[in-house]
Amino acid sequence: MAATRTASRAGEIFTTLEYGPAPESHACALAWLDTQDRHLGHYVNGQWLKPEHRSSVPCQDPITGENLASCLQAQSEDVAAAVEAARASLENWSTQPGAFRAQHLTRLAKAIQKHQRLLWTLESLVTGRAVREVRDRDVPLAQQLLQYHAVQAHTQEEALAGWEPMGVIGLILSPTFPFLDMMWRICPALAVGCTVVVLAPPASPTPLLLAQLAGELGPFPGILNVISGPASLGPVLAAQPGVQKVAFCGAIEEGRALRRTLAGWGPELGLALGAESLLLLTEVADVDSAVEGIVDAAWSDRSRGGLRLLIQEAVWDETMRRLQERMGRLRCGRGLDGAVDMGARGDAARDLAQRYVREAQSQGAQVFQAGSVPSDSPFFPPTLVSDLPPASPCTQAEVPWPLVVASPFRTAKEALAVANGTPRGGSASVWSERLGQALELAYGLQVGTVWINAHGLRDPAVPTGGCKESGSSWHGGQDGLYEYLRPSGTPAWIPYLSKTLDYDSFGLALPSALPAGPETGPAPPYGLFVGGRFQAPGARSSRPIRDSQGSLLGYVAEGGAKDIRGAVEAAHQAAPGWMSQSPAARAALLWALAAALQRREPNLVSRLERHGVELKVAKVEVELSVKRLRAWGARVQAQGCALQVAELRGPVLRLREPLGVLAIVCPDEWPLLAFVSLLAPALAHGNTVVLVPSGASPIPALEVCQEMAALLPAGLVNVVTGDRDHLTRCLALHQDIQALWYFGSAQGSQFVEWASAGNLKPVWVNRGCPRAWDQEAEGAGPELGLRAAWTKALWLPMGD
Amino acid sequence: MATQGRGEAGAGGRRKGSTEAGSGSQLCCGLFDMSAHQQGTELDLSWISKIQVNKPAVLRRAEQIQARRPVKKEWQAAWLLKAVTCIDLTTLSGDDTASNVQRLCYKAKYPIREDLLKALNMHDKGITTAAVCVYPARVCDAVKALKAAGCDIPVASVATGFPAGQTHLKTRLEEIRLAVEDGATEIDVVINRTLVLTGQWKGSDFIKTSTGKETVNATFPVAIVMLRAIRDFFWKTGNKVGFKPAGGIRSAKDSLVWLSLIKEELGDEWMKPELFRIGASTLLADIERQIYHHVTGRYAAYHDLPMS
Determine the Cα angle at B5 with ends B1 and B6, to 5°.
145
Instruction: Name the residue facing A10 among B58, B72, B77 (closest C-beta).
Output: B77
Residue A516: closest CA among A493, A539, A545: A545
Interval A63-72 mean pLDDT: 94
Instruction: Name the residue facing A286 among B52, B67, B82 (closest C-beta).
Output: B52
Q: Which residues pair with A428 in a beta bridge?
A: A278, A450
Residues in chain A within 8 Å Cβ distance of B81: 10, 14
φ and ψ of B273, to 5 deg? -60, -20
Residues in chain A within 8 Å Cβ distance of B64: 292
Residue A769: closest CA among A618, A624, A668, A662: A668
What was the pLDDT predicted at A38?
A: 96
Give the strands of the sheet with A789-795, arranged side by side.
A366-369, A383-386, A403-409, A307-312, A277-281, A427-431, A449-452, A789-795, A652-658, A641-643
φ and ψ of A17, to 5 deg? 50, 45
CA–CA dist A30, B232 (Å, integer):
48
Length of chain B: 308
**pLDDT-above-70 percentage for chain A:** 99
CB atoms within 10 A of CB A215: 21
pLDDT tens, residue by residue, A543-589: 999 887 888 888 999 999 999 999 999 999 999 999 999 999 999 99
Amino acid in the structure at residue A386: S
Q: Which residues pair with A250 in a beta bridge?
A: A273
β-strands A739-742, A661-665 pairing: parallel
Task: Please name the residue of chain A whose CA is at the shortest distance from the CA of residue B118.
Answer: A7
Which residues have C-beta within 8 Å of that of residue B126, sequence separation ≥ 6?
Answer: none
Q: How confident is the model at residue B198 (pLDDT cuts 50, 70, 90)?
A: confident
What was the pLDDT predicted at B7?
A: 33
Which residues have C-beta within 8 Å of that of residue A404, sequence separation ≥ 6?
Answer: A294, A297, A298, A299, A306, A307, A308, A309, A382, A383, A384, A385
What was the pLDDT predicted at B39?
A: 57
pLDDT tens, residue by residue, A394-440: 888 999 999 999 999 999 999 999 999 999 999 999 999 999 999 99
CA–CA dist B133, B150 (Å, integer):
18
CA–CA dist A118, A405 (Å, integer):
36
**A22·B268 Cβ contact <8 A:** no
Which residues have C-beta within 8 Å of that of residue A640, sequence separation ≥ 6?
Answer: A653, A654, A655, A656
Please determine, for residue A147, whether its predicted confidence score (pLDDT) is greater than 70: yes
CA–CA dist A754, A737 (Å, integer):
15
CA–CA dist A527, A679 (Å, integer):
20
Secondary structure (3-state) at A765:
strand
pLDDT tens, residue by residue, A648-659: 999 999 999 999
The full DSSP string for A511-543 is: PPP----PPPSSPPP-SEEETTEEE--TT--EE
Q: How far is CA A659 from CA A227, A742, A791, in A?
A: 36, 16, 10
Q: Are A689 and A714 in contact (CB under 8 A)?
A: no
Q: Collect all residues from A whose CB is shorter than 8 A from any CB in B.
A: 3-4, 6-14, 17-22, 132, 136, 284-290, 292-293, 321, 329, 338-339, 341, 431, 433, 453-454, 649-650, 797-800
Q: Are A165 and A117 in contact (CB under 8 A)?
A: no
Interval A748-761 mean pLDDT: 96
pLDDT tens, residue by residue, B62-107: 999 999 999 999 999 999 999 999 999 999 999 999 999 999 999 9
E strand or H helix at B82, and its extent?
helix B73-85
Q: Collect all residues from B whose CB is shorter than 8 A from any CB in A.
A: 52-61, 64, 67-75, 77-79, 81-82, 119-122, 125, 228, 235, 259, 263-264, 267-268, 271
**A11·B263 Cβ contact <8 A:** no
Please determine, for residue A3, whether its predicted confidence score (pLDDT) is greater than 80: no
Determine the Cα angle at A275 with ends A480 and A382, to 5°.
140
β-strands A789-795, B206-208 pairing: unpaired
pLDDT tens, residue by residue, B110-125: 999 999 999 999 998 9
β-strands A195-200, A168-172 pairing: parallel
Mark A7-26 as b/e (b = at least 16 C-beta within 10 Å). Answer: bebbbebbeebebbebebeb
Residues in chain B within 8 Å Cβ distance of A287: 52
Please determine, for residue A216, whether its predicted confidence score (pLDDT) is greater than 60: yes
**B121·A8 Cβ contact <8 A:** yes
Cα first-last separation, chain B: 40
**pLDDT-above-90 percentage for chain A:** 86
What was the pLDDT predicted at B37?
A: 52
Please determine, for residue A379, whether its predicted confidence score (pLDDT) is greater than 60: yes
Residue B189: closest CA among B154, B162, B155: B162
Active site residues of B: 188, 208, 244
Determine the Cα angle at A582 with ends A581 and A588, to 5°.
90
What was the pLDDT predicted at A527?
A: 93
Please determine, for residue B20, whether its predicted confidence score (pLDDT) is greater than 90: no
Sign of the Cα torsion A337, A342, A348, A351 reads negative
Q: Are B137 and B158 in contact (CB under 8 A)?
A: no
What was the pLDDT predicted at A510?
A: 76
Determine the Cα angle at A350 with ends A344 and A356, to 5°.
140
Cα first-last separation, chain A: 56
What was the pLDDT predicted at A638?
A: 66
DSSP E strands: which ranges in A233-352?
243-250, 268-273, 277-281, 307-312
Residue A707: closest CA among A721, A719, A692, A689: A719
CA–CA dist A484, B153 (Å, integer):
71
Give the strands of the sheet with B186-190, arranged side by side.
B242-244, B206-208, B20-22, B186-190, B155-159, B131-134, B87-90, B278-280
Q: Which residues pair with A764 in a beta bridge?
A: A741
Alpha helices in A550-614 (DSSP H): 561-579, 583-599, 601-610
Burial class (CB in 10 A: 0-12, 13-18, 19+), B232: middle
Burial class (CB in 10 A: 0-12, 13-18, 19+), A392: middle
Dihedral angle, C-alpha A749, A753, A756, A761, nearest 10 ° = 90
Q: How confident is the model at residue A724 (pLDDT cuts 50, 70, 90)?
A: very high
**DSSP secondary structure code for residue B304 in this structure:** G
For residue A324, the Cα-to-chain-centroid distance in whole angstroms is 34
Mark B201-213 as b/e (b = at least 16 C-beta within 10 Å). Answer: bbbbbbbbbbbbb
Among the ranges given (B12-21, B62-71, B143-152, B209-218), the one the predictor scored with the smallest mean pLDDT = B12-21
Amino acid in the structure at residue A219: P
Determine the Cα angle at A537 with ends A534 and A538, to 5°.
140
β-strands B155-159, B186-190 pairing: parallel
pLDDT tens, residue by residue, A261-310: 999 998 999 999 999 999 999 999 999 999 999 999 999 999 989 999 99
Q: How far is CA A351 from CA A59, A133, A356, A703, in A?
A: 19, 23, 9, 60
Q: Are A306 and A274 in contact (CB under 8 A)?
A: no
Interval A206-234 mean pLDDT: 94
| B217 vs A96: which has the higher pLDDT | A96
Q: Are A186 and A213 in contact (CB under 8 A)?
A: no
Question: Quick one: residue A569, left, alpha or beta (phi over 0 = left, psi -120 to 50 = alpha)?
Answer: alpha
B19 CA: distance to closest CA in chain A (Å): 20
Please determine, for residue A176, whether its predicted confidence score (pLDDT) is greater than 50: yes
Determine the Cα angle at A676 with ends A671 and A680, to 5°.
160
What was the pLDDT predicted at B17?
A: 29
CA–CA dist A743, A768 (Å, integer):
7
Task: Please name the residue of chain A whose CA is at the shortest distance from the CA of residue B232.
Answer: A322
Q: How confident is the model at residue B38 (pLDDT cuts 50, 70, 90)?
A: low
CA–CA dist B41, B274 (Å, integer):
21
A362 CA: distance to closest CA in chain B (Å): 34
φ and ψ of B79, to 5 deg? -65, -35
What was the pLDDT predicted at A175?
A: 85
Interval B130-141 mean pLDDT: 96
A340 CA: distance to closest CA in chain B (Å): 7
Rg of the Cα atoms in chain A: 28
Best mutation target among A9, A14, A19, A312 (most B Cβ atoms within 10 Å) is A14
What was the pLDDT predicted at B19?
A: 35
Secondary structure (3-state) at A573:
helix
CA–CA dist B141, B97 (Å, integer):
8
The full DSSP string for A710-759 is: HHSPTTSEEE--S-HHHHHHHHHH-TT--EEEE-S-HHHHHHHHHHTTTT
CA–CA dist B185, B179 (Å, integer):
9
What was the pLDDT predicted at B18?
A: 33
Q: Are A723 and A647 in contact (CB under 8 A)?
A: no
